[in-house]
Amino acid sequence: MKEPLSHDQLNLIHAYWRAANYLSVGQIYLYDNPLLKEPLKQEHVKPRLLGHWGTTPGLNFIYVHLNRIIREQDLSMIYIAGPGHGGPAMVANTYLEGTYSENYPNISQDEDGMKKLFKQFSFPGGISSHVAPETPGSIHEGGELGYALSHAFGAAFDNPGLIVACVVGDGEAETGPLATAWHSNKFLNPAQDGAVLPILHLNGYKIANPTILARIGKEELENLFIGYGYKPYFVEGSEPEAMHELMASTMDNIIDDIKSIQAHARSNGVMKRPHWPMIILRSPKGWTGPKEVDGKKTEDFWRSHQVPFSEMINRPDHVKLLEEWMNSYRPEELFDENGQLRPELAELAPRGERRMGANPHANGGLLLKSLKMPDFRDHAVEVPEPGQVMAEATRIMGRFLRDIMKRNMQDRNFRIFGPDETASNRLGDVFDVTDRTWMERTIPEDDHLAPDGRVMEILSEHTCQGWLEGYLLTGRHGLFSCYEAFIHIVDSMFNQHAKWLKVTSKEIPWRRPIASLNYLLTSHVWRQDHNGFSHQDPGFIDHVCNKKADTIRVYLPPDANTLLYITDKCLRSRDFINVIVAGKQPQQQWLEMDAAIKHCTYGIGIWEWASNDRGSEPDVVMACAGDIPTLETLAAVDLLRQQVPDLKIRVINVVDLMTLQPKEEHPHGLSDKNFDVLFTTDKPIIFAYHGYPWLIHRLTYRRTNHKNLHVRGYKEEGTTSTPFDMVVRNDLDRFHLVADVIDRVPKLGYIAAYTKQLIRDKIIEHKQYIAKYGIDMPEIRDWKWTWNEES
Amino acid sequence: MKEPLSHDQLNLIHAYWRAANYLSVGQIYLYDNPLLKEPLKQEHVKPRLLGHWGTTPGLNFIYVHLNRIIREQDLSMIYIAGPGHGGPAMVANTYLEGTYSENYPNISQDEDGMKKLFKQFSFPGGISSHVAPETPGSIHEGGELGYALSHAFGAAFDNPGLIVACVVGDGEAETGPLATAWHSNKFLNPAQDGAVLPILHLNGYKIANPTILARIGKEELENLFIGYGYKPYFVEGSEPEAMHELMASTMDNIIDDIKSIQAHARSNGVMKRPHWPMIILRSPKGWTGPKEVDGKKTEDFWRSHQVPFSEMINRPDHVKLLEEWMNSYRPEELFDENGQLRPELAELAPRGERRMGANPHANGGLLLKSLKMPDFRDHAVEVPEPGQVMAEATRIMGRFLRDIMKRNMQDRNFRIFGPDETASNRLGDVFDVTDRTWMERTIPEDDHLAPDGRVMEILSEHTCQGWLEGYLLTGRHGLFSCYEAFIHIVDSMFNQHAKWLKVTSKEIPWRRPIASLNYLLTSHVWRQDHNGFSHQDPGFIDHVCNKKADTIRVYLPPDANTLLYITDKCLRSRDFINVIVAGKQPQQQWLEMDAAIKHCTYGIGIWEWASNDRGSEPDVVMACAGDIPTLETLAAVDLLRQQVPDLKIRVINVVDLMTLQPKEEHPHGLSDKNFDVLFTTDKPIIFAYHGYPWLIHRLTYRRTNHKNLHVRGYKEEGTTSTPFDMVVRNDLDRFHLVADVIDRVPKLGYIAAYTKQLIRDKIIEHKQYIAKYGIDMPEIRDWKWTWNEES
């Protein structure tokens, strides 16, 4: 047991905390007079007061104590502030340690800088009230709650020298994603990963309600965290001196625990999951703030949640109260005449990159090493003729991922994430070279579980996403594979990450580019044989397309070779969110590798071998995006050829969905001229699309030939049925596509009635067949492409 | 302590369980020969085998034991099957008890019915492999995981006579929503609510991985659930006889616990939160299935998760194995020659509505009582002139909600849900008549907390949504108010509920209509003064619009009176999901109540008082949807009037967004003719829209005048700023709208250069002002509508 703080240490630490609190209150309230050199007047106060005081002093308290232990033991730590609106605390502390001014030289460490620091907070064009991408040392957008702990674990994986301190607010602790993220300890390897130090901060209130964890009995609370697998240390109280002593000695014990867990695992091997320490810090909401305002309880109460008192106009008593409050921190003892932190206090902060605002792990791009990429061509499927060979696209991709995993094994900077579906999604070849991460006990029959596995599976899309974000933000690489319908579970997390990337990549020069977040969506809407309607939703693409074009990319490779190319491209890219949609079932292959590369390089193109309009305008354009729409389109072309050999058809395949948007709206967008060359200006276009058809209209409504565009896609008609029946139910099947062409090409009027009767008969035959046998007719299942223009 | 089961009882219960298991295996495998009257051959087996065996025997085991206790103690219970793919179990049991055949007479309780029962499972046009809306007794779509427990609690609220048995799979238990839903016990009132009996079913494996809760030590597991506030009873084992005895005695104890908790609270008043009992059932995955297949461990292993063996063609040994397996249940002892359950077994099921498949709570529409609706007109804001009076729309709505709450207090069938934002969203007047639900200890300063409160606040959007769904599905009413940006957290839950409603309302006649799910989205994208970019996302509307038109409604009332009308309409509606978007800030009021009613009845209309095109074609149409776009549009009209008084402007306001869609696509859609009358066929339309602008294009791309439609909306440009700056950043402000008009009306060419310079100056002035003062210029904030056509 270490000695508690000496008297001098305690005084210094307390002073540093007061400085952080002073700067926090200043940010929330002051427009001018930052050092209170003259008596505070109404015009020194911001005209509109916005911010959250409640959580801030506790966050400051933690920061100061982490600083102490970092200095004392030369630790590498980063700080994740879960409580949404803890912005003032992180800003105040990074300002005190100097990292804020290094990143923002105009916010200098003097009176003028302090004035700007105060003004910018929650001020137009300034900074938000929550921890944001602009905050040095942060990898965590504090705007939405629930993800602090999964981010923390993501950051700790494969960072054996790092300790991630993660403050979890008691409000945030009520969210689902946070409630399950505690189980991340079952996936943290003490030998090869770093440590996460969760600090559950109970300050009692949300906006207007007490929090659950602050009100249940202490015994239940302790049981809960023992049940989650932790060793909880309680730090409870409100008297600063006692709290500093308690926090310091607890921090000492905890770092001892962490070091001994790690030393044991690193010298003796990983035997079993350790009980990692955590802190339960119970401190008053709005600690050190005014006890009462207008006779109403404020400190330790929900009235401290935001701005404890905000009426200032014609309320000189409030201005006075603010002045007294700020002076209670005795700023003159903390800052010199010029507003500079006094040297004995500045001394308390860690040095250089040990400062939490300057730790390079929190600006992951600084540490990013490109993946060593094997040649994806080595996995090419041989495609001597289009449509003759069958392959499972994601299985081929799995082999490529296996090789990537292998080549980067030493660097330990690539992981695959997913909710228990890696094998089901046919990526199982990665298990040739690694295992699933698993720290619990195993039994002999278990399949590829190991503490150092690099495939992370937990039945929580939120946790997968949070881990991956934390992993990427600290400079590593990864892929998230998920059932298409259920990726909506992380819609809101996607939003936050997309917004983070928009801001960091375009507006914050000191943030270095990080690896893109890559999704593989499979088990998609068109192949849900036994799951049925509840598993059918291709709308994540729509959701993604609402975000900034600079940030998002959507790919629909139609076969294995195109999928290989796109996978390679996505894993090399930076600062994007890439969505890849590809099926896992055996499917016709269309392009040999060279053709696939060429096709994907443009992202869209005419498939000459499937078209017969060479040298002339076509009668109809048949476009497709997605593996199943491509299959049905080509089958329709085949049928049309038999019926009307002289019909000039142009087949266009779209891999990169963003090519459809105008060039002005997305960097991948085709120019209007090129779009017109491909799609003509006046011929009918039958577009078979993987998802909701209106997305294609939304992307193309400004194009010249939009009026002739007819899109088929998923329109929420589904059930438990065969693959072909799913397309029939949504009018996306070959027969409906043929009917669409006949309806829209005037010169086919002469065969319209006859052909449509044929088509109706075919559909009836299909319905009868599957009702009887439960599988698709052989002629559908075994259909092969026959058209060869030369033939 | 009750006696355990008698020998006879045990034998009967075991036989009933065997019958359920037999029917479950039959559903997964058999196409014909349901009673195995002839030796099993390959052609009796389905051509494609799909389904999930692993969880099924455990679900059957629970069902049988619930049946026993229901009969013995005459309980009213429903059964929620959390494990996703437990379909066969629920179908088998409801078939055995007779409810399945009552709802689906073609699936009769005889050999022919059994054959159909088997065939339809996971068969085209049949039923899905998970518990679905088609399943009698279910209120829970088993397709996506995570919501079983919040649904269960939602069902139990205000149902004092009901016990909701809720099986939570150990896979599902890893999801975030489920992990936090355990805390729902802090909101369940033992006096006035029913009971939830959670049964955590540990069968060890997900698809390919062990589950966390099945592998952590028993002590941790017990701690976890004690920490969650439960009294866990363990039922562990694999030997059927012992397990039946243990389950029966546990069930006896638990019902005793529940009854004594309820009796105590109901006679002595609610003193403190009880420790509700729960069961932790550990049984082998694929229990009673084949121990080994092809020499590989199968029972109690992940290989039992789906179909334990599915290769049948050319595998007579597998056909033999299946036959042995099914015969191991000794079907001849269970069913007579005709396939009817033997009477001594049929006797075991509860009677009539006590059967869990027939409990009316699980078909909530049967019990639904319309809300007693006070007259919303009583809360009308006086609007003598448009744009002169200010009001906070949601505060007015709050008063109406208070009156609704009051009038229905006796019926206890209306609750309001939200993540700690009811007061923040200005609905606080409801606290005049009720409190926030809260079972934990309180302190004197707490604000409106009580065990019988009817406002439910937990910082988990998932739990709010899950509770509300459970509450609605059992025949009650509710409203969910949420910050607009964060409603995306429940995107995927919304999907499942929308799909449930599509199926139940259109395809399942025995499902009675239930009250609609109503969202109030406020704190919306245009008013996020201190939150900034991370809180800005109006895309939930886009997400909603991807679902079936029969099910979804979107309303953007521009002021308080229209909001009142829409609230009334939504709370009276059935089987819809209604999304209402409305701001909470003080805002100009436009329509007095009669005009509001008229306007909302059509959902779209010309605002004559703001237009000056009467009796002629306008030069420009200025359309708006949403409160802020309406404000900016009218301010732009005002400016234009000053600049160019002879410009003919038509102002159209859209309350019901679905009116924009073609009539063929949405029942609220305008006919093309009416659309053309409103929007003209060739005049420029400047459309100011609340959300992402492309949604308006998507809804209107088929309209005649779409080519002249120019939409302004949110385009992901935001930060911490003033209300007006937010619209400026997205080009939605009055000045940009004026510029848009000038650009598009040829006859204004003569003033274009001059006016645009004025506009640029205005924008610069605005930027400078807010950079200095942090608030909007007075002329913007205090702007009032001045145009009066008569004047």
Q: For residue range A401-448, list pLDDT tens digits in order.
A: 999 999 999 999 999 999 988 998 999 999 999 999 999 999 888 889
CB B60 within 8 A of CB B139: no
Domain end residue (candidates: A553, A587, A621): A587
Q: How far is A530 from chain B (nearest CA, A)?
A: 5
CA dihedral B573, B579, B580, B583 (to 10 degrees): 160
Contact criterion met (CB < 8 Å) for A223 and B220 = no
What's the rounded Cα separation, in Å, for the pair B729 and B528?
Answer: 13
Interface of A with B in 27-56 (CB under 8 A): 31, 46-48, 50-51
Please choose, from the candidates A709, A710, A643, A717, the residue with its C-alpha nearest in 3D space to the C-alpha of residue A682: A709
* Residue B430 maps to a domain: yes
Please choose, from the candidates A574, A379, A579, A366, the residue with its C-alpha nearest in 3D space to the C-alpha of residue A477: A574
- Provide the domain count of chain B: 3
Close Cβ partners of B417 (under 8 Å, ≥ 6 residues apart): B455, B456, B457, B464, B465, B467, B468, B478, B479, B480, B481
What's the rounded Cα separation, in Å, for the pair A468 and A490?
Answer: 12
Which residues does chain A have within 8 Å of residue B482's beta carbon, measured at their own beta carbons? none
Chain A residue at shortest CA distance from B457 = A209
Neighbours of B71 (CB within 10 A): 16
* Residue A594 maps to a domain: no
Q: Is the pLDDT of residue A791 over 50?
A: no
Which candidate from A221, A423, A720 shows the least CB-CB separation from B127?
A: A720
Chain A residue at shortest CA distance from B717 = A548
Interface check A143 vs B, CB under 8 A? yes
Only one residue has tokens 């100009």, namely B588
Domain end residue (candidates: A354, A370, A405): A354
Chain B residue at shortest CA distance from A498 = B534
Rounded alpha-carbon distances, angstroms, from residue B730 to A113, B121, B521, B711:
31, 52, 20, 11
- Burial class of residue A34 (count of CB atoms within 10 Å of its CB; 0-12, 13-18, 19+): buried
CB A490 within 8 A of CB A544: no
- Give the CB-side neighbour count of residue A273, counting CA atoms within 13 A: 25
Token pair for residue B116? 């159909």
Report how many Cβ contacts below 8 Å link chain A to chain B: 365
* Residue B366 maps to a domain: no
What's the rounded Cα separation, in Å, for the pair A410 and B598?
Answer: 70
Contact criterion met (CB < 8 Å) for B124 and A220 = no
DSSP state of B574: B
Contact criterion met (CB < 8 Å) for A531 and B125 = no
User: Do β-strands A586-588 and B577-581 pair in parallel, antiparallel, or remain unpaired?
Assistant: unpaired
Which amino acid is residue B391, in one-letter code? A
The verdict on B306 and B173 lying in the same domain is yes
Give pLDDT, residue B3: 60
Interface check B549 vs A, CB under 8 A? no
Token pair for residue B269? 């008043």
What's the rounded Cα separation, in Å, for the pair B721 and B367?
Answer: 49
Helix (H) or strand (E) holding A483: strand A477-483
The verdict on B104 and B141 lying in the same domain is yes
CB A252 within 8 A of CB A69: yes
What's the rounded Cα separation, in Å, for the pair B278 and A342?
Answer: 58
Q: Is the pLDDT of residue A118 over 60?
A: yes
CATH number assigned to the domain comprising residue A652: 3.40.50.920
The verdict on B529 and B501 lying in the same domain is yes
Q: How far is A186 from chain B (nearest CA, A)?
A: 8
Q: How far is B228 from chain A (nearest CA, A)?
A: 6
The crossing angle, in degrees rounded to 10, of helices B560-572 and B393-407 is: 40
The verdict on A582 and A615 lying in the same domain is no
CB B400 within 8 A of CB B406: no
Close Cβ partners of B524 (under 8 Å, ≥ 6 residues apart): B484, B538, B581, B582, B583, B628, B690
Domain end residue (candidates: B527, B552, B587): B587
Position A789 confidence tier, pLDDT thresholds 50, 70, 90: low
The verdict on B331 and B461 lying in the same domain is no
What's the rounded Cα separation, in Å, for the pair B436 and A274?
Answer: 40
Q: State phi, psi for B14 to the nearest 5 degrees.
A: -65, -40
Position B266 confidence tier, pLDDT thresholds 50, 70, 90: very high
Average of per-residue pLDDT values in chain A: 95
Please choose, from the candidates B51, B660, B104, B645, the residue with its C-alpha nearest in 3D space to the C-alpha of residue B308: B51
Token pair for residue B645? 């008084």
Instruction: Name the 3-class secondary structure at B466.
Output: helix
The verdict on B706 and B769 lying in the same domain is yes
Instruction: Name the 3-class secondary structure at B365.
Output: helix
What's the rounded Cα separation, in Å, for the pair B27 and A720?
Answer: 14
User: Do β-strands B552-555 and B577-581 pair in parallel, antiparallel, or remain unpaired?
Assistant: parallel
Contact criterion met (CB < 8 Å) for B458 and A174 = yes
Q: State phi, psi for B109 to the nearest 5 degrees.
A: -90, 65
For the stretch A10-31, pLDDT in tens is 999 999 999 999 999 999 999 9
What's the rounded Cα separation, in Å, for the pair A196 and A474?
Answer: 14
Mean pLDDT, to the nearest integer, of A390-395?
97
ipTM (interface predicted TM)? 0.96
Strands (DSSP E) along A320-468, which ranges? 390-392, 414-418, 436-437, 449-450, 455-457
The verdict on A570 and A618 lying in the same domain is no
For the stretch A221-274, pLDDT in tens is 999 999 999 999 999 999 999 999 999 999 999 999 999 999 999 999 988 899
Three-state SS string over A726-784 comes to HHHHCCCCHHHHHHHHHHHCHHHHHHHHHHHHHHHHHHHHHHHHHHHHCCCCHHHHCCC
Q: Which domain holds residue A729?
A: 603-782
For the stretch B471-498, pLDDT in tens is 999 999 999 999 999 999 999 999 999 9
The verdict on B579 and B612 lying in the same domain is no
Task: Return the residue in B46, B175, B772 with the most chain A beta carbons within 10 A, the one to mutate for interface testing.
Answer: B175
Token pair for residue B219? 């002590």
Give pLDDT, residue A166: 98
Position B791 confidence tier, pLDDT thresholds 50, 70, 90: very low
Which residues does chain A have within 8 Å of residue B701's beta carbon, measured at their own beta carbons? 694, 697-698, 701, 706
- Give the CB-side neighbour count of residue A257, counting CA atoms within 13 A: 20
Average of per-residue pLDDT values in chain B: 95
Q: Is the pLDDT of residue B681 over 80?
A: yes
Interface check A771 vs B, CB under 8 A? yes
Task: Return the residue in B27, B145, B215 with the most chain A beta carbons within 10 A, the one to mutate for interface testing.
Answer: B215
Interface of B with A in 109-138 (CB under 8 A): 122-130, 132
CB A425 within 8 A of CB A523: yes
The verdict on A184 and A44 lying in the same domain is yes
For the stretch B122-152, pLDDT in tens is 888 889 888 999 999 999 988 889 999 999 9
Interface check A186 vs B, CB under 8 A? yes
Sign of CA dihedral B342, B347, B351, B354: negative
CB B690 within 8 A of CB B629: yes
CA A385-A387-A388 angle, to 5 degrees, is 65
More confident residue, A394 or A298: A394
Find residue A616's DSSP bridge partners.
none
A770-776, Cβ contacts within 8 angstroms, sequence gap of 24 or more? A770/A721, A770/A722, A770/A724, A770/A725, A770/B124, A770/B125, A771/B124, A771/B125, A773/B47, A774/A722, A774/B31, A774/B46, A774/B47, A774/B48, A774/B123, A774/B124, A775/A722, A775/B47, A775/B48, A776/A722, A776/A723, A776/A724, A776/A725
CATH number assigned to the domain comprising residue A186: 3.40.50.970
The verdict on B230 and B129 lying in the same domain is yes
Chain CA centroid to CA B464, Å: 9
What's the rounded Cα separation, in Å, for the pair A152 and B42?
Answer: 54
Instruction: Name the 3-class secondary structure at A236.
Output: strand
What's the rounded Cα separation, in Å, for the pair B211 and B55?
Answer: 13
* Residue B181 maps to a domain: yes
- Give the CB-side neighbour count of residue A755, counting CA atoms within 13 A: 22
Interface check B701 vs A, CB under 8 A? yes
Chain CA centroid to CA A747, Å: 51
Q: How far is B120 from chain A (nearest CA, A)?
A: 9
What's the rounded Cα separation, in Å, for the pair A639 and A738?
Answer: 8
* Residue A297 maps to a domain: yes
Please choose, from the candidates A158, A125, A741, the residue with its C-alpha nearest in 3D space to the C-alpha of residue A410: A158
* Residue A24 maps to a domain: yes
The verdict on B564 and B695 lying in the same domain is no
Q: What percent of chain B has pLDDT over 90?
A: 86
Task: Return the residue in B120, B212, B503, B658 with the most chain A beta carbons within 10 A, the one to mutate for interface testing.
Answer: B212
Task: Return the residue in A218, A447, A459, A521 with the most chain B beta carbons within 10 A, the one to mutate for interface testing.
Answer: A459
Contact criterion met (CB < 8 Å) for B441 and A215 = yes
Position A740 confidence tier, pLDDT thresholds 50, 70, 90: very high
Please choose, from the candidates B607, B419, B333, the residue with its C-alpha nearest in 3D space to the C-alpha of residue A176: B419
The verdict on B224 and B334 lying in the same domain is yes
CB B575 within 8 A of CB B514: yes
Which residues does chain B have within 8 Å of residue A223's beta carbon, measured at their own beta carbons? 223-224, 226-227
Mean pLDDT, to the nearest integer, of A35-47?
95
* Residue B333 maps to a domain: yes
Give pLDDT, residue B529: 67
Interface check A223 vs B, CB under 8 A? yes
For the stretch A519-539, pLDDT in tens is 999 989 998 766 788 899 999
Contact criterion met (CB < 8 Å) for B180 and A175 = yes
Chain B residue at shortest CA distance from A544 = B539
* Residue B209 maps to a domain: yes
Sign of CA dihedral B107, B110, B112, B118: positive
What's the rounded Cα separation, in Å, for the pair A666 and A659?
Answer: 8
Reported residue count of chain B is: 791
Q: Is the pLDDT of residue B1 over 60?
A: no
Contact criterion met (CB < 8 Å) for A543 and B548 = no
Give pLDDT, residue B205: 86
Q: Which DSSP string do the residues of A321-349 spell out, in sequence order?
A: HHHHHHHTT-HHHHB-TTSPBPHHHHTTS
What's the rounded Cα separation, in Å, for the pair A263 and A269?
Answer: 9
Please choose, from the candidates A212, A149, A170, A176, the residue with its C-alpha nearest in 3D space to the C-alpha of residue B178: A176
